[in-house]
Amino acid sequence: MPMLKRIASITALLTVAATSFLASSQETVRLGTPISESQLANFDLIAQPNGNGLPAGSGTARQGKAVYDARCAACHAANGEGISAATIIVGGDMQSEGEPLRTVGSYWPEASTVFDFVRRAMPADAPKSLSDDEVYQVVAYVLFLNGIIGEDQELNASTLPRVEMPNADGFIDQSAIH
């Protein structure tokens, strides 16, 4: 076979192979089903310190007491004192000479972190079962129990990032170092 013709036929063969590979891969690859907007919203939960990602809604501690008593107190006790070391969410001290007790009040630097965590992970026996209003309410109540906000102070997407957490300056930002 002359050289040129040979190359042409090899190319043709490759083209046929590629085409049939593409065709069969289109037929055989069936990975999962398309995800709907509402299903996606269930995972779109990141609330940032600058307020990005905080949903619509609002709540006060006064409203949040009912949510807390019904959905949180079984594990975090009536006033956040906890039923185990891991479930203490009120009080604490980062200045103690012994082991510091880290809680929402003593340790967490941003209120948005409390919101984010509660919305995605709490109550531990039924995560994501609270409405956004209920999350605002119960977060307000946890902050109120820690003496950080008043009972009638309204939390919403614009007020929550402005809450000053006691340990806000207790962290070193290393993001610029790396």
- Interface contacts to ligand HEC, rule CB under 6 A: 71-72, 74-76, 86-87, 89, 102-104, 114, 117-118, 122-125, 130, 138, 142
Q: How far apart are CA 64 and CA 95, in angstroms?
A: 30
Q: How far apart are CA 85 and CA 102, in angstroms?
A: 10
Q: How far apart are CA 25 and CA 78, in angstroms?
A: 58
If the CB atoms of residues 145 and 157 are measured against ligand HEC, the closer one turns out to be 145
If the CB atoms of residues 136 and 161 are measured against ligand HEC, the closer one turns out to be 136
If the CB atoms of residues 105 and 161 are measured against ligand HEC, the closer one turns out to be 105
Degrees to nearest 5, angle at CA 50 with 47 and 52: 45
CB of 26 to ligand HEC, least distance (A): 44
Q: How far apart are CA 60 and CA 153, in angstroms?
A: 6
CB of 136 to ligand HEC, least distance (A): 11
Can you tell me which residue has the tokens 């000053």? 164
CB of 37 to ligand HEC, least distance (A): 26
CB of 123 to ligand HEC, least distance (A): 3
Q: Which residues contact 116 (CB under 8 A, 6 or more apart)?
A: 45, 46, 47, 53
If the CB atoms of residues 44 and 125 are measured against ligand HEC, the closer one turns out to be 125
CB of 47 to ligand HEC, least distance (A): 13
If the CB atoms of residues 143 and 157 are measured against ligand HEC, the closer one turns out to be 143
